[in-house]
Structure 1
Amino acid sequence: MNEIDYKAFYDQIGRLNGWDFSKVKAASEGVLWDFFPEVTRHCKPSDICLDIGTGGGEALLSIADCALLFVGIDQSAGMIETARKRAEESGKPNVRFLQMDARRLEFPERFFQVVSCRHSPFDAAEVAKVLAQDGVFLTQQVGEKDKLNVKEAFGRGQAWEAEEGALTSQYVTELREAGFTDIRTFHYNAAEYYETAEDLLFLLKHTPIIPEFGQREADFPILHQFIQDYTEDKGIRTNSERYMIIAKK
């Protein structure tokens, strides 16, 4: 998907479900961390925290009690619309959601003690600008080989031809150039099992794993064959590859 197509897709999904996949029935083996609990390990009750690419806000609202104030930003009006509705329903008074471009963070310098970013682009220099001295930045990104057997079946996919680890290496370099000195990286590639065909179908329709999924005549026969080939006792098997970077100024 090109940048314009992706933004339109992401905004549409934002209004539909806010990037919330909690209803999808799937199990994983080999997951080494859960990102937002990792974020809370670095939060103090007095901290002001920023979440970049916050989506529909469900994850940020789940950790709202761990800091003084959380601010979630997203470029998508649809995502922010959903996040604000969820915030109102939650009754959490210390969470704010703003539509904002991660490449131009409109906050005072050194305003946040913790900045997080899950599965979304960020600008290392902008993060450094708004992060307090001794502050912590955490990001989790999807690995290039995520859902590899799905991409192989369709012959296309997100980061399909990218070199493994290239994005993480790029981010580490950018963080160093932005002034971060303590940078640690983590990686896992877990087995993932979707309980039903409907669960896998929901994933493919609501993520850009397979660009333009369902718009090609062959997509559903390919999906049907994939399900036949990869159904095991535990479910329909694929993989979940994730990278995490924790950086301190």
Structure 2
Amino acid sequence: MNELFEHHLHDIEEHFSGWDFSYITESGRMDNGMLSWSYGSIVIPYIRKVTSMLDMGTGGGELLTKFQPLPSVTYATEGYAPNLPIAKQRLQPLGVAVKEVKEDNLLPFGDGAFDLIINKHEEYSPAEVRRVLTSDGIFVTQQVGGNDCARINQALGAPVNKEYLHWNLQNASEELRREGFDVFECKEEEPYQRFYDIGALVYYLKAIPWQVPDFSIERYKDALYSIHETIQSVGFFEVKTHRFVMKAKLQKDC
């Protein structure tokens, strides 16, 4: 195995915090295909109209800070313990209270607390979202579908997590409708994601350990080298992502 390959493997040691992939995105080492929608452009008009909102799964709060000015009552939740101090340090000076949430069906808020609930790539309980949403409130979520980056697992010879294979727009929207929501706008797409060196891929897999739960350099070194050779030949390693977005409100007769 060559020197360049071994050098790139050290990228797994680089620090990752919050939900910040800039180490590999701003350097152009990983790139994503475009969606036909913008999550930010969808949620900002609603944020400007409401007086209370909840950001579910805020990560390190990086994205929420970009949506300023925020409503006078704004809360954020986060379930990944290492992100909590990062989110609090970033968001509390803005007047945003950050709450730790370990169970999606146990949100620490009263009934009808929020005019708007936004959620990017975070699990949620439709019943609990309904409970904390006002009767005329809006729920906006962008989700990662169950087919996301399956080619990574295939190329590594790693099993695909079957627990989430059902997670797609059809099933998610039907789930919301059963809970009394009207899903009034939705889309689903599978844009590409490209890794331009093997170091970008190992960094990515360290950041999202649920993609390949047993990932380690030692366990998958031969498969990683095969992907490295593909990149050296083609210029990149390409996979399909899986995203869907939904805007929902409570049905008036519920």
Relative to the length of structure 1, the TM-score reads 0.81
Contact 2:173 2:183 (C-alpha < 8 Å) held by counterparts: no
Contact 1:74 1:102 (C-alpha < 8 Å) held by counterparts: no
Whether 1:80 aligns to 2:81 is: no
Return the offset for 1:158: 5.0
Return the offset for 1:83: 0.6
- The one-letter code of the counterpart of 1:123 is S
- The one-letter code of the counterpart of 1:247 is A
Name 1:40's counterpart in structure 2.
44
| Range that drifts further, 26-35 or 199-208 | 26-35
Whether 1:130 aligns to 2:132 is: yes
Name 1:111's counterpart in structure 2.
113
- The one-letter code of the counterpart of 1:63 is F
Taking a change above 3 Å as real, the CA distance of residues 242 and 46 of structure 1, as seen in their structure-2 partners, is: closer
Taking a change above 3 Å as real, the CA distance of residues 52 and 106 of structure 1, as seen in their structure-2 partners, is: same
Contact 1:120 1:141 (C-alpha < 8 Å) held by counterparts: yes
Sequence identity, in percent? 24
Paired with 1:219 and 1:102, the residues of 2 have a C-alpha distance of 33
| Range that drifts further, 68-77 or 229-238 | 229-238
Query: Which runs of no fewer than 5 residues in structure 2 stay unpaired?
Result: 1-14
Residue-pair matches, total: 230
- The match for 1:148 among 147, 150, 157 is 150
Name the SS of the counterpart of 2:171 in structure 1: helix
Relative to the length of structure 2, the TM-score reads 0.80
Q: RMSD over aligned Cα, in angstroms?
A: 2.5
Paired with 1:231 and 1:119, the residues of 2 have a C-alpha distance of 32
Return the offset for 1:141: 1.5
Larger Rg: 2
Q: String of CA shifts for 1:122-173, please: whole Å, max 9, x gaps.
A: 010110111112211111221222212211112335535754x544433323
| Range that drifts further, 45-54 or 15-24 | 15-24
Return the offset for 1:117: 1.6
Return the offset for 1:69: 3.3
Return the offset for 1:19: 2.5
Paired with 2:220 and 2:237, the residues of 1 have a C-alpha distance of 17
Contact 1:31 1:190 (C-alpha < 8 Å) held by counterparts: yes
Name 1:5's counterpart in structure 2.
none
Query: Which runs of no fewer than 5 residues in structure 1 stay unpaired?
Result: 1-14
- The one-letter code of the counterpart of 1:65 is P
Paired with 1:143 and 1:231, the residues of 2 have a C-alpha distance of 29
| Range that drifts further, 149-158 or 187-196 | 149-158
